[in-house]
Amino acid sequence: MSGSRRILIVSGVLLAIWGMCFGLYYAVFAEHQALDKIGGSLAAGFVSGANGELVEARGSIQNYADTQFDYVRAVDVHSHWIGLAMLLIVFGVTFDRVRFSEQGRKSLAWIMVSGAIIFPLGVILQTFDRGLIPKVVAGIGAVLVTIALAAIAFGFARSERNSWTKELRQ
Amino acid sequence: MSVATMSARRVLIVSGIVFVITGMIFGDVFAVFVLHQNADRIGRSFNDATDAVAARDPQAVNASFQKIGDLLENRGTKVDAHVHLIDFGFLALLLALLQPYVALPESSRRRLAILFAIGAVLLPSAVFAIHYVGLKYSPWSSIGWASILADFGGLLVILACAGMLIGLLRRAGSSDATSDATSDEDQRSFDAGGTSRALLTGGTLLILAGFLHGAYYAAFDLDAHEERDQFALETMINASVAQQNKTPINMHDARSVVEGYGLLQAEKAVNIAAHSHIIEFGLLSILLAFVQGFVSLSESSKRLSVILLLAGSIILPVFVLLELQLGLLAGGIADAGGLLVIVALTMMLFGILRNGRQGERDERL
């Protein structure tokens, strides 16, 4: 197995395990509490409204929005880490078909792996700090994945053009 | 051709494609007959909740949210069944890909593949039933029989995957880990000329498109949608409270906010659906590139199936995204895109089953 394939498959398996562990931790310790809080806060906001308590109602809706913000990102991170891990494994199986030198494929594999780790990391950091830094981290990860995917697609297409040229020559 | 005579790899490929086709048809039926009607009912329940706020009736508020919870469970279990069936299809195709690396006897691998297929059918079927079975005849207060059956299905899938993992580890630990036999088998299934490579390139581009759309949505729309969500709920309550001391009560403003809130949820839903569907179709295309060697169709039919698959994979998510602007027309075109993918998958499935029959005939000769 070539080095670039090994990088993708091993990183993919490790990232999938990490993503599942994160999901398991979240499901056991946070998800049900978050869902209860989302539903409870929403209903409590309307109940406070029915009792004419507008300040409490606004507080409950703020609670709902904050919990929903964290919940959406935690679920996104879980599914993106696992989804990207699956993509790494699938690319790992077929990476020799990407028509670059092995050194080029290794660089590409590292870019893809870095992006697959950094992008969801930036998203989960937003649940701790809603400032600019987590968004920049997620943005860097997204750019790395985008560059790697574009290069991989180019590598596959290049392979196709080469084979068609060979077929025409024959 | 019966399951008993199929190799483990073929069982996984055939069941994987069948799961994806079934999951897509289920998704279409769900979208047409349940999704929109369910959204309307949720909207009506929000109207009931605002009426209850205006009438100073906290009990009616709670009853409305209880109803919304039930409707969300109804929708959630159906979405789960749809997603799990398709994802198990992907997993089956991925396991088929790994079969040459699983160091277990063929009979054991076939048993594991059948175990996986049983679990993969049981889990989504039982999840679908959760909303209807509820807690009937259950000895527990919070978990019903359908949930238990779904968990059992999940356990079968885990056992099958664990078995495959043991085979993979045995292979990794053996001295002939770089055996050429595996590469030969891989080559046979993979070297299918242009169709495999078109699926690889097209699949990667679909994933790239989905990723870029997701990144754009997260960067420019997600925060705004969340702020609008919170603002709409606050306005809903304020508009209802404003009517508490008035006779006659005028709920026009509250109704408008509920309507806007519904449109916002639809906007979020189409963006998420387009993002996830285009990426899933991209992954499906890449996985199908590996099985092209098993597809016994003429070269032109294989090319047609790939063109239909890639065309449908673009049409469905693009027109899901345009549903808010074009309405039912876009929904119809998106369904037609889904149909193209189903036709392409059926053609490939037919080719794979035909290939199996040819193999059996060759063996008999």
- B212-242: pLDDT as tens digits: 999 999 989 999 999 999 999 999 999 999 9
pLDDT, tens digit, 9 for 90 and up, residues B177-188 = 444 445 555 555
Per-residue confidence (pLDDT) for residue A59, from 0 to 100: 95
Q: State ipTM.
A: 0.87
**Residue among A43, A90, A153 minimizing CB distance to B94:** A90
* Both structure tokens of B100: 């040459």
Last residue of a domain, one of B190, B210, B233: B190
d(Cα B322, Cα B351) in Å, to the nearest integer? 34
Q: Which of B151, B204, B264, B272 to mutate to test the interface with A (most CBs of A within 10 A)?
A: B204
Q: Which of B231, B79, B98, B67 is nearest to B167 (CA)?
A: B98
Mean of per-residue pLDDT scores for chain B: 87
Per-residue confidence (pLDDT) for residue B181, from 0 to 100: 46
Q: Are residues B122 and B19 in the same domain?
A: yes
pLDDT, tens digit, 9 for 90 and up, residues B282-299 = 999 999 998 888 888 998
Question: Does residue A2 contact residue A105 with C-beta atoms inside 8 Å?
Answer: yes
Stretch B188-209: mean pLDDT: 83
pLDDT, tens digit, 9 for 90 and up, residues B27-86 = 888 888 888 888 899 999 999 999 999 999 999 999 999 999 889 888 888 998 999 999
Judged by CB atoms closer than 8 Å, whether chains meet at B233 and A49 is answered as no
Q: Are residues B173 and B198 in the same domain?
A: no
Alpha helix segments (H runs only) across chain A: 3-26, 32-50, 54-94, 102-125, 132-169
Q: Are residues B232 and B338 in the same domain?
A: yes
**pLDDT < 50 regions, chain A:** 164, 167-168, 170
| CB-based contact, A153 to chain B, within 8 Å | yes
- Residue A148 with chain B: CB contacts under 8 Å: none
**Residue among A46, A87, A159 minimizing CB distance to B283:** A87
Q: Are residues B42 and B175 in the same domain?
A: yes
Per-residue confidence (pLDDT) for residue B365, from 0 to 100: 52
d(Cα B45, Cα B64) in Å, to the nearest integer? 5
Q: Are residues B172 and B273 in the same domain?
A: no
Q: Are residues B203 and B106 in the same domain?
A: no
Distance from CA of B33 to the nearest CA of A (A): 26
- Residue A45 with chain B: CB contacts under 8 Å: 233, 237
Q: Are residues B174 and B203 in the same domain?
A: no
Q: How many domains does chain B have?
A: 2
Per-residue confidence (pLDDT) for residue B189, from 0 to 100: 56
Distance from CA of B140 to the nearest CA of A (A): 18
Q: Are residues B249 and B355 in the same domain?
A: yes
**Residue among B53, B226, B230 minimizing CB distance to A49:** B53
The A residues from 59 to 98 touching B (CB cutoff 8 Å) are: 61-62, 64-65, 68-69, 72, 83, 86-87, 89-91, 93-94, 97
Q: Are residues B223 and B127 in the same domain?
A: no
Stretch B12-26: mean pLDDT: 94
d(Cα B206, Cα B213) in Å, to the nearest integer? 11
Domain that holds residue B316: 193-365
Range of weakest confidence among A96-110, B136-150, B336-350 = B136-150
Q: What is the CA radius of gyration of chain B?
A: 25
